[in-house]
Amino acid sequence: MNDADNTYNGEKTASQPLEERVNNRSQRPSSEAFKAFMASNWAPSPQVAPERDAVADHAARRRRIISGQFKGERLVVPAGPLKVRSNDCDYRFRPHSGFAHLTGLGLDHEPDAVLIFEPVEEGTGDDGGNHRATLYFRPLAGRDSEQFYADSRSGEFWIGARPTLAEFEARLGLPTAHVDELETAVTKNVGAPEIGGISIRLVRKVDENIDALVDTARYNTAKDPDNLDLGVLDALDEKLSEALSELRLIKDGWEVEQLQTAVAATVEGFAEVVKALPRALTHFRGERVVEGAFFARAREEGNELGYDTIAAAGNNATVLHWTRNTGKIKAGDLLLLDAGVEADSLYTADITRTLPATGTFSDIQRKIYEAVLDAADAGFAAARIGTRFRDIHTAATTVLAERLAEWGLLPVPVAEAISDEGQQHRRWMPHGTSHHLGLDVHDCAQAKRELYLDGVLAEGMVFTIEPGLYFKNEDLGIPEEYRGIGVRIEDDILMTAEGPVNLSAALPRTADDVEAWMAGIWHEANGKA
């Protein structure tokens, strides 16, 4: 093959750029007559004055807080690009959570968008802050343009309408600009502050093109490019990601409403799973039947799943992140269902219930279940304003250690097991009891340890309480009757001035209530049949 003249063994070969070949299947005409015809006789796009989004004022307050932390610096927060799933098919788009939090934008309409905080004189920026923020994105192309019908990623003919610059500006109260202006907005006047330049901080590893653009600007304006300390620059960027994570530790009223919406849809999804269990018991992939029943509700009521559903029956329930969901569900099994609906705003619930597949717990299953429930209740009791986040875990796991000791499974006394030098009880409860919840199922993950694990509980925090016990079939250190049983109970908790509120309390928690709830759903379903 001769790449220069496109010949192979002396024969001329067709020349077509590789990036164009994915369009071969569409067989789209390219004649001028076709282009002229496609550009004609389309109704104008509707001109509707959008109302200001309910989230707009909350997002503006969040931006003001971040502006106060990074005076005189340009902040670059990308939404992220589309991601290829297979060849020319993309995953459903989800923006970076930091971008969503600062703009209020969810759903799937702003791939490649970037939010830029431009520094201004202190106190003269948005809402008296130190920056003016602008949203850069690619708006809808006119129906007289080739992009309208030719661009399968952004053309209205293919993916539907996209908001205009003016629509977003009205909805969000946030100035907008075309993404074509982005490069200049990112790179202008970059340089060392001591010589009049502007320092940049970037949320990295969201959009490779933006990473490269910022890195190039830094390199080109460095005093000594060959000795540019990338570690120092990475640390600057990490501080921005850290700040955006910590900003989400306290949820505002709008965020709490979104989480309540996600939880309500998730409760409905669990009911759909119970309805599907009789069929799941007859299917060679019963766990997939369960997964599908919940997913249908997530797509009907929300945007998507907040995370991959864990639908784990029997011994699979002892695998902490079992998302293959390929197993059978047998009569007598417990089904551990860990699932959450993501609302259109991208806030997600995260709930776990452990259900007897045929509606009734066995004696050993009930004993283990009630121990986990007692641990969850102890964690709930420990959650008080002013106590530490880690205290929830200590309270819950202490109860589990006590039960394990009562059952003769713990090889050492409880006091030794729960000490830092012991921890033997963690063989059967290896994960943490709580995590923050919000835009990400494991929200605020970049927050400093002293504000997260060692942080003090405060009004507006939302987190899970989810103890469990997992006795694997392969565990020869326990009696056989325990083996193959995994139990987790997980609820979503809002911290208020009066104490913790269980947002997911609509789902039954006690063994008796679970059995009665399942029986009621099946009775109603049979009555309608």
pLDDT higher than 80, residue 527: no
Into which CATH architecture does domain 253-528 fall?
A: Alpha-Beta Complex (3.90)
Calpha distance 97→59 (Å, rounded): 13
| Interatomic CA distance for residues 459 and 31, integer angstroms | 63
Looking at residue 118, its amino acid is E
E strand spans, 175-330: 176-178, 199-202, 304-305, 310-313
Residue 17: pLDDT band with limits 50, 70, 90: confident
184-217 tens-digit pLDDT: 999 999 987 777 789 999 999 999 999 999 999 9
**Tens digits of per-residue pLDDT, 327-368?**
999 999 999 999 999 999 999 999 999 999 999 999 999 999
Q: How do the domains of the chain map onto residue ranges? A: 56-247, 253-528
pLDDT at 515 over 70: yes
pLDDT at 258 exceeding the cut of 70? yes
Give CA–CA dist 103/115, Å, rounded.
8
H-assigned helices in 31-122: 32-38, 56-69, 97-103
Q: Report the run of H or E that residue 269 belongs to, with start and end.
A: helix 253-280
The pLDDT tens digits of the residues spanning 445-459 come to: 999 999 999 999 999
Is 50 exceeded by the pLDDT of residue 469?
A: yes
- In order, the DSSP letters of 32-46 are HHHHHHHTSS-PPPP
Alpha-carbon distances, residue 323 vs 110, 219, 220, 277, 311 (angstroms): 29, 43, 46, 18, 7
Alpha carbon distance 439, 256 (integer Å) = 11
Mean local confidence (pLDDT), 13-27: 66
- Give the pLDDT band of residue 63 (cuts 50, 70, 90): very high
pLDDT over threshold 70, residue 173: yes
221 near 197, Cβ under 8 Å?
yes
Distance, in Å, from the CA atom of 338 to the CA atom of 312, rounded to the nearest integer, reads: 9
| Secondary-structure percent of the chain, ordered helix, strand, coil, rounded to 5 | 40, 15, 45
Q: pTM here? A: 0.93
SS3 25: helix
Let me know how long the chain is. 529
Place of tokens 């369009």: 23
Statement: residue 529 has pLDDT above 70: no
What average pLDDT score do residues 301-324 get?
Answer: 97
Average pLDDT for residues 362-390, to the nearest whole number? Answer: 98
* Cα pseudo-dihedral 455, 459, 460, 464, rounded to 10: 60
- Residue type for position 203: V
Distance from C-alpha of 147 to C-alpha of 65, rounded to nearest angstrom: 39
Per-residue pLDDT at 48: 76
Give the span between the Cα atoms of 58 and 262, in whole angstroms.
Answer: 19
Two tokens, residue 319: 């695998």
Q: How far is the C-alpha of 118 from the C-alpha of 133, rounded, in Å?
A: 6
Contacting residues for 367 by C-beta, under 8 A, at least 6 apart:
none
Of 61 and 151, the one with more pLDDT = 61
Mean pLDDT lowest for which of 16-25, 163-172, 242-251, 265-274?
16-25
What's the confidence (pLDDT) of residue 284?
A: 97
**pLDDT tens digits along 391-408:** 999 999 999 999 999 999
Select the CATH number that applies to the domain covering 56-247 from these four: 3.40.350.10, 3.40.50.720, 3.40.50.150, 3.90.1170.50. Answer: 3.40.350.10
pLDDT of 209 reads: 96
Query: Regarding beta strands 176-178 and 131-137, do their DSSP bridges make them parallel or antiparallel, or are they unpaired?
Result: parallel
Percent of residues, the chain, with pLDDT higher than 70: 95
The whole-number average pLDDT for the span 254-278 is: 98
Res. 16: pLDDT tops 70: yes
CA 274 from chain centre, in angstroms, equals 25
Q: What integer best gives the mean pLDDT of the chain?
A: 93
pLDDT in tens, 364-375: 999 999 999 999
Contact 239, 114 (CB under 8 A): no
Note the pLDDT tens digit of each residue in 66-119. Answer: 999 999 999 999 999 999 998 888 899 999 999 999 999 987 678 999 999 999
The one-letter amino acid code at 83 reads K
DSSP strand pairing (499-502 vs 491-496) = antiparallel
Structure confidence at residue 1 (pLDDT): 46
